[in-house]
Structure 1
Amino acid sequence: MKISEALKSTKIELDSSNLAWRFLSFYLKQPKEWVFLNSNLELENENEFFCLINRYKNGEPFEYITGVCEFLGREFSVGKGVLIPRFETEILVEKALNVAKNYATPKICEIGIGSGIISISLALELEKAKFSATDISLEAIKFARKNIDKFGVEIEINHTSLLDGVNDKFDIIVSNPPYIADDYELDIWVKNEPKTALFGGAKGDELLKQIINLAKTRTKYLICEIGYDQKASLSKELEDCGFEYEFYKDLAGFDRGFVAKIKE
């Protein structure tokens, strides 16, 4: 089978031209341009290639199959047991950078570091900042440490829930916590991601409310990603806890997070 035939077949099977190109590029270890220019070559070991396609069709996320995910133009290691980064979270990093630049040597803590994309992306831009992070998942921490080593940044990680056992105070606390309601129906690929990184409680906002309450005595700024329908409930929580705040939207126009500052 020629590469061009595999591309056509894969596109039909996955109903996605983009995924077909990405799978071929990964399998052949060549950029998309090379695949296009060499599409008349024979595809070697085509059975192995279509085994990858079947893994995806059976619900294994593309990023778990390849072992990497792109975030802000960088490749991070991911795999089963860690949340796959979403493009929306790039906005969260931008918001945190805007706040952090007001400090010469900011102390920043991330609640739920996951694969490390947020803290690492911030650390690469903020050389004088001091970073710490927490996560309840040892599997996630394994990936975070792998990515920390890859990018050569310093981040202290605590294996704990939220801020349990962490006594410091911070200039900024940042978090992309689980915020999906427990009964929300997910597609087969998202179902293969860790439930502890997805579901935030019966309504979905319970963990975010815990973080807001913890942060009111621990930080000057709290920056979080949220569910699209949680603005009203979290506004009340932020007000009750003494924060002034602004919500921001994602590229699709949905409410996606907030930047909150404790009132002085």
Structure 2
Amino acid sequence: MRICDGLNLAKEFGNRFAYLLMEFHLKKSREWIFLHLNDELAKKDKFIELLDRYKNGEPLEYIFGSCEFMGRDFEVGQGVLIPRFETEILIEKALEIASKFNAPRIAEIGVGSGIISISLALELKNAKIIATDISLDALKYAKINKEKFQVDIELIESNYLDKVNGDFDIIISNPPYIAANYPLDKWVLSEPKTALIGGQIGDEILKDIINLAKSRAKYLICEMGYDQRESMKNYLDKLDFQSEFYTDLAGLDRGFVAYNKGK
């Protein structure tokens, strides 16, 4: 089998996918691959194995063991949510709010692989950041990435902030917000359901976090589902938050920044 034959097999899932998989398999650049298309494909059985893993529903990021986020490579794997590009907007919003404080005290609920807390810590040298998760798998990857980027964040196994004391300037979260009956493809279904499903309706965990933030934070910054703006706006109003919503690059509602008028 030549390199071009392997690429043609993988192009079932798109041209970009084929080259990414080949680059990973050969540990060569795309330019090198273009110049060697007719070369024999080294370890072709291993390449077919990688392709079969993807066909069977294993996300590319799990196969690679990493995912790019805000220009940095974070380690990911089974049991942890794969970072999405739209979460970069969440961090941009958090940095805007954090600039109001000299040494912001920040809590993240649901740290996952650590992309949010680590990205904030790299930009906010004076911040005190505590991050929680109920998943030991997620905390394992958060610890790996924390050490990789050498940031000072405290990682705690906890449901919400149950094992964390004190109040915060900012609570931030990209919580599960998908409804239980929402159809998902097999690659997304390979990710942990506890990081995806927010309840029967989908907004239940978001509402829990709003309730918690009411007594413990000046600002709450959350990602949410594209169809949850009305639900979130009504609930935030009910608890006396002043809220602003933002959209992703596709123009879909994607999150909110809420100021706790009672704090």
Same-fold status (TM-score > 0.5): yes
Aligned equivalent of 1:85: 83
Stretches of structure 2 lacking an aligned partner (at least 5 in a row): none
Aligned equivalent of 1:136: 134
Q: What secondary structure does 2:254 align onto?
A: strand
Selected match of 2:176 from 178, 186, 190: 178
Whole-angstrom CA distance in 1 between matches of 2:149 and 2:29: 23
Q: What secondary structure does 1:217 align onto?
A: helix
Q: What secondary structure does 1:216 align onto?
A: helix
**What are the within-5 Å matches in structure 2 for residues 3-14 of structure 1?**
3-11=3-11, 13-14=12-13
Whole-angstrom CA distance in 1 between matches of 2:91 and 2:26: 33
Whole-angstrom CA distance in 2 between matches of 1:245 and 1:36: 50
Aligned equivalent of 1:56: 54
Whole-angstrom CA distance in 2 between matches of 1:58 and 1:46: 18
Whole-angstrom CA distance in 2 between matches of 1:33 and 1:103: 46
Whole-angstrom CA distance in 1 between matches of 2:72 and 2:32: 21
Aligned equivalent of 1:108: 106
Residue identity in the other structure for 1:63:
E
Query: More displaced, 108-117 or 159-168?
Result: 159-168
**What are the within-5 Å matches in structure 2 for residues 89-238 of structure 1?**
89-238=87-236
Whole-angstrom CA distance in 1 between matches of 2:45 and 2:26: 13
Deviation at 1:37, TM superposition (A): 2.8
1:29-76 CA deviation, whole Å, 9 max, x = no partner? 122222223323221111110110001001011111110001011000
Aligned equivalent of 1:256: 254
Whole-angstrom CA distance in 1 between matches of 2:22 and 2:95: 36
Aligned equivalent of 1:44: 42
Deviation at 1:158, TM superposition (A): 1.2
Whole-angstrom CA distance in 2 between matches of 1:34 and 1:222: 47
1:74-103 CA deviation, whole Å, 9 max, x = no partner? 000000000000111111011111111121
Stretches of structure 1 lacking an aligned partner (at least 5 in a row): none
Q: Percent identity?
A: 60
Q: Over the residues paired in the alignment, what is the CA RMSD in angstroms?
A: 1.0
Residue identity in the other structure for 1:46:
K
Deviation at 1:263, TM superposition (A): 1.1
Whole-angstrom CA distance in 2 between matches of 1:32 and 1:173: 41
Residue pair 2:26, 2:42 contacting (<8 A) in 1 also: no
Residue identity in the other structure for 1:2:
R
Deviation at 1:251, TM superposition (A): 0.7
Q: What secondary structure does 2:245 align onto?
A: strand
Deviation at 1:5, TM superposition (A): 2.2
Query: More displaced, 232-241 or 109-118?
Result: 232-241
Q: TM-score of the superposition, structure 2-length normalised?
A: 0.97
Aligned equivalent of 1:76: 74
